[in-house]
Amino acid sequence: MTAVAVKHDELKALGVQVLSVSTDSHFTHKIWQEEELSRMVDGGVPFPMLSDQGGRIGKVYGVYDEDAGVDIRGRFLIDPDGVIQAMEILTPPVGRNVSELIRQVQAFKHVRETGEATPSGWTPGKATLKPGPDLVGKVWKVWKPEKAF
């Protein structure tokens, strides 16, 4: 979460609204912000930390662990129309990659604005694909797996 906080301005510039949701109470969030997060990021996390006590939000997104009473860590990219475009669920010991989050946001934004497709490993400035009948069966002519890296 603090890595997202460090990149918050960059995410905002891309039009992203960041929300953090957990089953912790808003009192727990306040203490966590004051005692931990603000020591990792100057001023703490700059986005809302929402409380999902009871797991209602987590159940809707399929990340609520009923037995443990907690939301499993997940990341959801929701487009301006309210449609989930991407999600990533990881177990607590494995950290998320904020650079990949930003790359995906850039790719979804590019696709939405241009109608082009972004192949594996795409980053801004790299070649895209123009979907259509002329591309069917001929992707191999314009894109190679080496371009993903």
The confidence score (pLDDT) of residue 82 equals 95
Number of domains present in the structure of the chain: 1
Tens of pLDDT along the chain (149 residues) come to: 999 999 999 999 999 999 999 999 999 999 999 999 999 999 999 999 999 999 999 999 999 999 999 999 999 999 999 999 999 999 889 999 999 999 999 999 999 999 999 999 999 999 999 999 999 999 999 999 999 99
In a domain, 27, yes or no: yes
In a domain, 26, yes or no: yes
In a domain, 141, yes or no: no
Inter-residue contact 76 to 60 (CB < 8 Å): no
Burial of 118 (0-12, 13-18, 19+ CB in 10 A): buried
> The domain containing residue 77 runs over which residues?
2-96
In a domain, 145, yes or no: no
User: Could you tell me which residues come within 8 angstroms of residue 145 by beta carbon, excluding any fewer than 6 positions away?
Assistant: 120
In a domain, 111, yes or no: no
Q: What is the pTM of this model?
A: 0.90
Short-list 24, 22, 4, CA closest to 14: 4
Distance between CA atoms of residues 29 and 51, nearest Å: 8
In a domain, 76, yes or no: yes
8: domain CATH number is 3.40.30.10
In a domain, 121, yes or no: no
* Collapsed DSSP state (helix, strand, coil) of residue 9: helix
Distance between CA atoms of residues 16 and 120, nearest Å: 22
